[in-house]
Amino acid sequence: MIDLKDLKKTYELGKLKVEALKGVSLHVDKSDIFGVIGYSGAGKSTLIRCINLLEKPDSGSVFVNNQEITALPEGELCKARRKIGMIFQQFNLLKSKTVFQNVAFPLYRSGLSKNAVREKVENLLEMVGLEDKATAYPSQLSGGQKQRVAISRALANDPQVLLSDEATSALDPQTTQSILSLLNDLNKKLGLTIVLITHEMTVIKEICNKVAVIDDGLIVEQGDSIDIFSKPQHPTTQRFIASVFQTERIHEIVSQPQISDLLKANGVVARLLFTGESANNAYISQVSRNFNININVIFGNIEIIQSLPIGSLFVVFNGDPVNIQAAINYLQIEKVKITFIQNSDPYLISEAI
């Protein structure tokens, strides 16, 4: 559906040169919800704006629906853009127009009759749940409602692709949820291909089936969400994933007196990562019974990625080191991913194992 080939873009701010994209290639399939995540300044905004050429790449090519967007003359580009919807962080609605007029705005000179336009706009507003706000002005709406108007405006010309430029970054968590589930519905209902950029892993977690991680103008990792969440490879990806599972808090927790007492008694601190099937088994009680050891859960969480659960548990194994070793071997055979927490604490025996 969308193919980006070796996109490069450099900004010149006076004498300063900023390489926003250093050769980015991406492939998005039809009906994907493709998330691009990166820290601010990573180049993600430039990347998404290159798809509809709001930003012209210095080199490389953009294909949308088998049409080379980068090769189109001005007039054709305008036509192609009508089939690529876009929503923004700041909604960008026309202040001087009502909700109805905003949604009807892209339909100007589309060849539709007045009645056809009205019907279309009413359907679009109904789809986003704002049929009663048609005569309101944007200033009378909440952030979430404005984004809903923007979404229905972006869909007015029946695009196959929707680009979302940080569309939920200005919204509170609850509204973010409702906008994301709306996007998810549209994806399922209309088969809409969605490319979204964000700096929040929770957005990716919620709706994206594929993820690309962008760092310093390059895609450092990409793949199915479930794989990225369970086996992040690149340090930047690992940092994003860690923020979801709050893994960095383990160090804070092991330094607490109650926990370090546990560790003094020959404890081993480890992170157990359960994915898919293994997330549903009662491993903790089973292992503790069978190997005659104690397992203390320090903290943990389970995230649902693309309807598959991923569980992250920080535990302390206590007991006979031989039994602990046996239990760990068993868990590894069962495809539970185990990482030992390296810590300067002398009571940790993780290195011994």
Partner 1 sequence: MAELLTRIMPNVMERYSDLLLATGETLIMVLIAGIISVILGALLGIALVVTGTGQLYENKTVNNFLGKIINTVRSVPFIILLALLVPFTRLIVSTSIGLKGALVPMIVGITPFISRQIEQAIIEVDKGVIEAAQAMGLSKPQIIVRVMLREAMPGIIRALVICIINLIGLSAMAGTVGGGGLGDFAIRYGYTQYMQDITVVTVLILLLLVNSIQGLGNYVIGKLSH
**Where do contacts with partner 1 occur on this chain (CB under 8 A)?**
52, 54, 74-75, 78-82, 84-86, 88, 90, 92-97, 105-106, 108, 137-140, 150, 153-154, 157, 163
Instruction: Write down the least CB distance from residue 49 to partner 1, Å.
Output: 9
Q: Which is nearer to partner 1, 88 or 299 (CB)?
A: 88
Shortest separation between residue 147's beta carbon and partner 1, angstroms: 12
- Residue 67 or 246 having the CB closest to partner 1: 67
Using CB atoms within 10 A of its CB, is residue 344 exposed (0-12), middle (13-18) or buried (19+)? Answer: exposed
C-alpha triplet 239, 241, 243: angle, nearest 5°: 70
For partner 1, which is the closer residue by CB, 76 or 320?
76
| Nearer residue to partner 1 within complex by CB, 160 or 325 | 160
Sign (positive/negative) of CA torsion 138, 140, 146, 149? negative
Q: Which is nearer to partner 1, 152 or 230 (CB)?
A: 152
Contact at 8 Å (CB) between 68 and 61? yes
Minimum distance from residue 45 beta carbon to partner 1 (Å): 12
Can you tell me whether residue 11 is helix, strand or coil? strand
Burial state string for 284-304 with b = 16 or more CB within 10 A and e = fewer than 16: beebbeebebebbebebeebe
Report the nearest approach of partner 1 to the CB of residue 239 (Å).
30
Type of residue numbered 325:
Q
Residue 272 corresponds to which tokens in the numbers above? 């157990």
Find the shortest distance in angstroms from Cβ 162 to partner 1. 11
